Amino acid sequence: MWTNWILIGLLAVTTYISRIIGIEVMKGRKTSSTLRLYFNYVPAGILSALVVSQLFISKDSQIQISFPIIIGGLVTALTIKISKSFLPSVIVGIVSGLLIRNL
């Protein structure tokens, strides 16, 4: 049990140190427009990878689509488009996903 907590602590410290090193290395540097353009695509790429990994489920050596996740995502997107508020949209998406899975 303690080894799990030690591992979690070491991973947290490692993550924190790697972020601080990245910030310190990039602080005060002028980046080229090409590099800034590249960095603009990083959040969209990460978000796309996270969403796609949740939409497609590997089961019995086949890829299946998770319809509760798709419907929850669409409800969340519509809610954020209408309300322009992030937290209520996420809550509505979670509730809709839970309702769809349990009905």
How many domains does the chain contain in total? 1
Domain housing 90: 66-103
**Residue 22 in domain:** no
Residue 93 · residue 72 · CB < 8 Å = yes
Domain-located, residue 71: yes
Q: Is residue 49 part of a domain?
A: no
- Taking residues 1-6, what's their average pLDDT? 88
pTM summary value: 0.56
- 21-50 average pLDDT score: 88
Per-residue confidence band for 54, with pLDDT thresholds at 50, 70 and 90: confident
In angstroms, rounded to a whole number, what is the distance separating the alpha carbons of residues 79 and 75? 6
Asked whether residue 100 is domain-assigned, the answer is yes
Residue 87 lies in a domain: yes
Output helix, strand, coil percentages for the chain, rounded to the nearest 5: 80, 10, 15
Residue 90: inside a domain: yes
